[in-house]
């Protein structure tokens, strides 16, 4: 068997969700909403199943969705995207990340990764023969260490994999930080795979800025979105990549060899979703912001010290004042077994030296679920 995969554990999200079931715990671990996405989008997918278009769709995606992705790029970011040559629809952002890296790197190429990192990044880079160069952000400020980032770039650098808004810390990269990254890409003639699955889940009036919108970056970025996050339908696994035509042909070849296509009914429903009015997108982030605030208030009352979260489904909490024995994984086990609440240890997002006493809570849950979690935590501590 492939030794890298054989030595890869089951993803922390699956492990913790199973733990939640076993202990009948409130699951604030794995990031998925506990309500359905928009009814019209779901209805469109159901209707599309019955209208006789259930065979293989075009490799790069159904035209309606490619056009909708291009239109959304124009509408939200002023990006001019050719729907026929610059969009590839994938089976979730997960495939999009792999397809993008596959398209960019040859074995031996270096890929800059920022810790904490999403769990698929490192294994995929390694499986493709890429050489990861890790740069870490540290709590509580999560500042981009510019000198270290610059030092991670060199003659063999092919790409950076950038996640903004960032899972698990909720960091939304600023224009200045993106400008710095852009200058490194130009200096080293490198590319960026931009995981922007939380692009529409941004709070407190912050603005998500795609790296691709910065000067010189239109030709250097592969920008990834996910219908799962944008429409609260995480099981659908419809993702999309936008990038320069010269690269997207190669991305399409990667997709051709990974999955070839993605369910056509879901694609057509997502096309309808992307054309929803501004109120939908504003409501999505406003609702999540209120859920974040609700959970933060409860966690604070229970004795946690929460860190700022400007986007995503997640907020980090420092539990040092509540418990000092064991690491964050042990703390999460205790939390599940004894308090009946599941969270994700921050250390799961680090490959190198592990940070201590921080856990990630997902707040994309109904108010009564958050309330029950808060009640349990307050009772326990």
* Tokens found for residue 333: 């086990």
> Smaller CB distance to ligand PMP: residue 236 or 281?
236
Which residues 6+ apart lie within 8 Å of 318 measured at CB? 139, 140, 304, 305, 306, 307, 357, 358
> Smaller CB distance to ligand PMP: residue 196 or 318?
196
> Smaller CB distance to ligand PMP: residue 237 or 292?
237
Q: Based on the shown chain and the rule CB under 6 A, indicate whether residue 11 belongs to the binding site for ligand GLN.
A: yes
**Positive or negative, the Cα torsion across 168, 174, 176, 182?**
positive
| Residue 132 site contact among ligand GLN, ligand PMP, none (CB < 5 to 8 Å, cut-off depends on kind) | none
Q: Based on the shown chain and the rule CB under 6 A, indicate whether residue 13 belongs to the binding site for ligand GLN.
A: yes
Pairing of strands 131-136, 110-115: parallel
CB of 335 to ligand PMP, least distance (A): 21
| Residue 242 site contact among ligand GLN, ligand PMP, none (CB < 5 to 8 Å, cut-off depends on kind) | none
CB of 84 to ligand PMP, least distance (A): 23
Rounded CA-CA distance 42/227 in Å is 12
Q: Based on the shown chain and the rule CB under 6 A, indicate whether residue 226 belongs to the binding site for ligand GLN.
A: no
Q: Which positions lie near ligand PMP, rule CB under 6 A? A: 31, 92-94, 118, 163, 167, 195, 197, 226, 228, 234, 237, 239
Of 172, 115, 163, 147, nearest in space to 351 by CA: 115
Alpha carbon distances (Å) from 16 to 13, 187, 350, 374: 5, 42, 17, 18
Rounded CA-CA distance 67/271 in Å is 8
CB of 313 to ligand GLN, least distance (A): 7
Beta bridge partners of 360: 316, 344
Pairing of strands 314-318, 221-226: unpaired
Cβ–Cβ under 8 Å, residues 359 and 319: yes
Q: Based on the shown chain and the rule CB under 6 A, indicate whether residue 167 belongs to the binding site for ligand GLN.
A: yes
Contact residue for ligand GLN among 26, 27, 30, 209 (CB under 6 A): 30
> Smaller CB distance to ligand PMP: residue 13 or 380?
13
Eight-state DSSP code of residue 238: -
CB of 253 to ligand GLN, least distance (A): 25
> Smaller CB distance to ligand PMP: residue 191 or 349?
349
- Number of Cβ within 10 Å of residue 255's Cβ equals 28
> Smaller CB distance to ligand PMP: residue 45 or 302?
45
| Residue 228 site contact among ligand GLN, ligand PMP, none (CB < 5 to 8 Å, cut-off depends on kind) | ligand PMP
**Residues near ligand GLN, by CB under 6 A:** 11, 13, 30-31, 167
């Amino acid at each position: 068997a492939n030794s890298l995969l054989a030595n890869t554990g089951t993803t922390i999200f699956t492990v913790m969700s199973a733990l939640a079931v076993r202990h009948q715990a409130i699951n604030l671990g794995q990031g998925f909403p506990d309500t359905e996405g928009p009814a019209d989008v779901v209805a469109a997918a159901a209707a599309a199943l019955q209208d006789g278009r259930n065979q293989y769709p075009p490799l790069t995606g159904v035209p309606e969705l490619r056009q909708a992705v291009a239109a959304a790029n124009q509408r939200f970011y002023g990006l001019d995207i050719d729907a026929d040559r610059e969009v590839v629809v994938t089976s979730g952002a997960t495939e999009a990340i792999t397809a993008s890296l596959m398209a960019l790197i040859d074995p031996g190429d270096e890929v800059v990764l920022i810790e904490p990192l999403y769990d698929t990044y490192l294994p995929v880079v390694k499986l493709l023969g890429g050489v990861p160069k890790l740069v870490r952000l540290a709590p509580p400020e999560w500042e981009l260490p510019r000198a270290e980032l610059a030092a991670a770039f060199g003659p063999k650098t092919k790409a950076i994999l950038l996640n903004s808004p960032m899972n698990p810390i909720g960091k939304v990269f600023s224009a200045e930080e993106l400008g710095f990254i852009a200058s490194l890409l130009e200096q080293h003639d490198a590319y960026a795979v931009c995981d922007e699955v939380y692009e529409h889940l941004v709070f407190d009036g912050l603005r998500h800025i795609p790296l691709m919108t910065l000067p010189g970056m239109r030709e250097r970025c592969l920008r990834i979105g996910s219908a799962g996050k944008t429409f609260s339908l995480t099981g659908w696994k419809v993702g999309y990549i936008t990038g320069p035509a010269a690269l997207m042909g190669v991305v399409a070849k990667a997709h051709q060899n990974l999955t070839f296509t993605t369910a056509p009914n879901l694609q057509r429903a997502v096309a309808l979703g992307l054309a929803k009015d501004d109120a939908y997108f504003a409501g999505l982030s406003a609702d999540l912001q209120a859920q974040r605030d609700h959970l933060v208030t409860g966690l604070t009352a229970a004795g946690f010290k929460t860190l700022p979260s400007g986007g995503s489904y997640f907020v980090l909490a420092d539990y040092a004042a509540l418990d000092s024995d064991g690491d964050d994984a042990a703390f999460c086990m205790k939390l599940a077994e004894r308090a009946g609440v599941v969270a994700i240890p921050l250390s799961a997002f680090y490959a190198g030296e592990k940070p201590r006493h921080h856990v990630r809570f997902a707040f994309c849950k109904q108010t009564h679920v958050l309330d029950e979690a808060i009640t349990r935590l307050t009772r326990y501590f």
